[in-house]
Amino acid sequence: MSFSNHLRQLAKPIWDAQLRHPFVIALGNGTLPEGKFKYYILQDARFLSDLARVFSAGALRAPDSESALRFTKLAEETSVVEHSLHEGYGTKWKMSPAQMTSVPMAPTTYAYTRHMLTVAASGSAAEITVVALPCAWIYCVVGQHLFKNGPPPKSHPYRDWLMLYASPEFAKVQRWMRQKVDEWAKTASKGEKQRMEEAFMISSRYEWMFWEMAWNEEAWPV
């Protein structure tokens, strides 16, 4: 079994729970209240800004030029492609990109991004890749799961979101990241592999928590 598939087996209960989450179900069938979706998009805009920084750190730590260039491209795509989706919704809500990215982080968004940035600051290329892998891989799984009965109709309120994350182009991202994780895990020490497992599991839990945060429109308690 490849190391990335080993990681997915470890996180299987968490990933299965995501597909059953009421936010994901309502997102897929189009019944998600717009207020909850708006909350999610605005928090995701904040998340993606820090995810781009994680990919940039991966470029600095990459042991070869091909991987460094790919990480640099991922940082750019995160800032351009996914942000363009957000900005389309922002236009609908009469919000500028600056307004969208200035919304305060909710507790879960803050905690998840600090987790990733901590690994990015001190981890190896393999650890940096694996801490961001659940985000790319889970969204691919969710997108394809919600597409199991075919593409949504044009009247679906969240069709653009579903089309992006179920697309073959988006699937290429997690596929490349998994290849790098599998390649680098072959020469990783026992300690590094343990750190990779821990980072992957924590990120997987935060992915579930991100849906939960948006469903409940989480706010700081004090």
Residues with active-site annotation = 135, 207
Question: In the chain, how many H helices and how many E strands?
Answer: 12, 0
123, 191 contact by CB (below 8 A): no
Considering Cα of 20, then 26, then 30, then 36, what sign does the dihedral take? negative
Task: Give the whole-angstrom CA distance, residue 165 versus residue 168.
Answer: 8
Task: Give the whole-angstrom CA distance, residue 179 versus residue 168.
Answer: 16
- Concatenate the DSSP letters of all residues of 16-82 into one string: HHHHT-HHHHHHHHT-S-HHHHHHHHHHHHHHHHHHHHHHHHHHHH-SSHHHHHHHHHHHHHIIIII
